[in-house]
């Protein structure tokens, strides 16, 4: 199918792009990698009158580490996240999960900003943003604001972004070198959208008990969710098999994932239980073995 007629604009600066969005109001739409928007336009599920192409805004393409985190420009491609040496060192769960986004060709074009703005409940990067409580920077013509990922996602394909705004950056915290981490997803074939996913970070104390624990789930609700509150009482215990089972049970308590042609609610719950067990196991193993390697906070910017 072909998209409905639209007017194409390709601004050279962020200011110009924001001015265009201000002028076009509800009829204008940003296009970044086009990997979600173009299929939707082809199927006439989206019919913007104006497309504001931000691909010339090179200022939005960077991976920039600082004292406690890493700023990532919204136009950074999934493939660049996957290959980033800085992210592998300071926040390795991001390149690991980016590898699971679609296929190579999709990762060459799709962007982190597009993934956040599209807000698919099974998408990898929004899940990590919720797990790590990333901060998003959002610009309009006369304002720049910050918002946490946990407030940004409102419902399936719905965020707090306004039509006159552009998401300019995503800030992830550094994962401490003595912290275990893991990302796992369940899909029917490699490259397919995940049916469910889970991501975890965990710190152990010197006696091997859990000191810090964060867990987020994808495909469990209309948005990626943090289940930290449901599992807080398990901190302080040793992460053995009995503990993992109890954490998974508490994490999934009261959840009712959707049922559709791809999987029933019960299928999704069963796969979530397995996936949670996998991320807890891998995180506890990494928390044990990866102690000692000190992350470097060299304030260099990566050439993309």
Ligand X SMILES: Cc1cc2nc3c(=O)[nH]c(=O)nc-3n(C[C@H](O)[C@H](O)[C@H](O)COP(=O)(O)OP(=O)(O)OC[C@H]3O[C@@H](n4cnc5c(N)ncnc54)[C@H](O)[C@@H]3O)c2cc1C
Binding stretches for ligand X (CB under 6 A): 29-37, 39, 74, 101-102, 106, 109-111, 113-115, 117-118, 120, 123-124, 161, 166-167, 193
Q: Which helix (H) or strand (E) holds 115?
A: helix 112-118
Beta carbon nearer to ligand X, 130 or 287: 130
Long-range contacts, stretch 53-60, CB < 8 angstroms, 24+ apart: 53/8, 53/9, 53/10, 53/11, 54/11, 54/14, 54/17, 54/30, 54/166, 55/10, 55/31, 56/10, 56/11, 56/12, 57/11, 57/12, 57/13, 57/14, 57/17, 59/14, 60/14, 60/113, 60/168, 60/169
Beta carbon nearer to ligand X, 50 or 243: 50
As measured in angstroms, the least distance from the Cβ of 148 to ligand X is 17
Ranges assigned E (strand) in 38-118: 50-53, 63-65, 69-73
Beta carbon nearer to ligand X, 32 or 132: 32
Integer distance in angstroms from the first to the last C-alpha of the chain?
34
Beta carbon nearer to ligand X, 20 or 204: 20
As measured in angstroms, the least distance from the Cβ of 11 to ligand X is 13
As measured in angstroms, the least distance from the Cβ of 208 to ligand X is 35
Residue 97 C-alpha from the chain's centroid: 9
As measured in angstroms, the least distance from the Cβ of 61 to ligand X is 11
As measured in angstroms, the least distance from the Cβ of 282 to ligand X is 20
Beta carbon nearer to ligand X, 76 or 203: 76
As measured in angstroms, the least distance from the Cβ of 103 to ligand X is 7
Tokens 């008990």 identify what position? 209
Beta carbon nearer to ligand X, 80 or 120: 120
Beta carbon nearer to ligand X, 30 or 72: 30
As measured in angstroms, the least distance from the Cβ of 123 to ligand X is 3
Per-residue DSSP letter, 121: T
Three-state DSSP state, 65? strand
């Amino acid at each position: 199918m072909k998209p409905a007629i639209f007017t194409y604009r390709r601004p050279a600066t962020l200011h110009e792009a924001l001015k265009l969005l201000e002028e076009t109001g509800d009829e204008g739409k940003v296009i970044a990698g086009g990997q979600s928007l173009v299929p939707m336009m082809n199927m006439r599920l989206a019919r913007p009158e104006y497309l504001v192409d931000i691909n010339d805004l090179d200022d939005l393409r960077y991976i920039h580490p600082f004292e406690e985190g890493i700023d990532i420009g919204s136009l950074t491609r999934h493939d660049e996240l996957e290959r980033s040496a800085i992210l592998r060192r300071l926040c390795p769960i991001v390149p690991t999960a980016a590898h699971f986004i679609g296929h190579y060709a999709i990762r060459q074009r799709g962007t982190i900003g597009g993934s956040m703005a599209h807000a698919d409940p099974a998408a990898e990067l929004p899940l990590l943003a919720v797990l790590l409580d990333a901060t998003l920077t959002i610009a309009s013509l006369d304002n720049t604001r910050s918002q946490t990922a946990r407030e940004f996602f409102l419902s399936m394909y719905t965020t707090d972004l306004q039509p006159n705004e552009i998401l300019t950056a995503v800030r992830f915290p550094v994962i401490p070198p003595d912290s275990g981490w893991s990302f796992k997803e369940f899909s029917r074939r490699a490259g397919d959208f995940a049916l469910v996913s889970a991501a975890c970070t965990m710190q152990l104390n010197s006696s091997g008990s859990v000191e810090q624990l964060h867990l987020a789930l994808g495909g469990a609700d209309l948005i990626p969710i943090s289940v930290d509150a449901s599992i807080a009482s398990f901190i302080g215990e040793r992460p053995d098999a009995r503990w993992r089972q109890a954490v998974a049970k508490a994490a999934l308590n009261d959840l009712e994932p959707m049922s559709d042609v791809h999987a029933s609610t019960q299928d999704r719950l069963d796969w979530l239980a397995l996936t949670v067990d996998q991320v807890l196991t891998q995180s506890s193993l990494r928390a044990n073995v990866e102690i000692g390697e000190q992350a470097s906070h060299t304030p260099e910017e990566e050439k993309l």
